[in-house]
Amino acid sequence: MQSKVIKFQHPFRELEETISYSSPAQTVQSFLEINWEQLNIDIYEKHDEVIHDYYFFEVSYMDLSNHKHTLNIGGAYTHGKNLEINGPQFDVRYSRPIEKTNRGFLGLGALKTKTMIDEMWMEECNKSFVVKCLEAFLKHDKQFLESEIINNGVSSF
């Protein structure tokens, strides 16, 4: 079984929290139990007390080839009417290994395959979309994540 690691970085606490993984449903519930709306209000009202400008909920696992896959859901600062109307917004980052093949220097020589980490991200995602991404990640549904994030977001490659 591939073990999942779940972390939460609170904007007002020095250390990351590690959340015990027991099931996909409980992982999603852990994300939903965080009061993201109140965090945005608190950041606005107590901005001098913020320790971490980047606060996040992150799930990762190592695959059978010992490569790390990560879904990082960062709180995007949302306030005022935007928060009231649209709810909290998030940035979603999906990192996974990909294989790159090339012929080396100047395109000469034998084919070489190298495993690299590729990261894709989307900004200004709403909570319901983020939950869909989290559920897909927990099911190892790479196709959903790649199609939704690549077609709507930014990729590092």
CA 113 to chain centre: 27
Q: Into how many domains does the chain fold?
A: 1
How far apart, in whole angstroms, are the C-alpha atoms of residue 84 and residue 6?
28
Residue ranges making up the domain that contains 134 = 4-155
Give the CA radius of gyration of the chain: 18
- The torsion angles phi and psi of 98, rounded to 5 degrees, stand at -135, 155
pTM of the model: 0.83
**Nearest CA to 128 among 61, 73, 69?**
73
- At residue 135, the pLDDT reads 96
**Nearest CA to 74 among 41, 46, 34?**
34
Does residue 150 register a pLDDT over 70? no
Q: Which helix (H) or strand (E) holds 96?
A: strand 89-102
SS3 44: helix
- At residue 20, the pLDDT reads 77
**Nearest CA to 95 among 53, 62, 130?**
62
Distances (CA, A) of 63 to 4, 149, 150: 10, 21, 22
Over residues 58-72, the mean pLDDT reads: 91
Q: What is the pLDDT of residues 119-138, one digit of tens each?
A: 888 888 999 999 999 999 99
Over residues 62-89, the mean pLDDT reads: 89
Over residues 67-87, the mean pLDDT reads: 89
- At residue 156, the pLDDT reads 47
Does residue 24 register a pLDDT over 70? yes
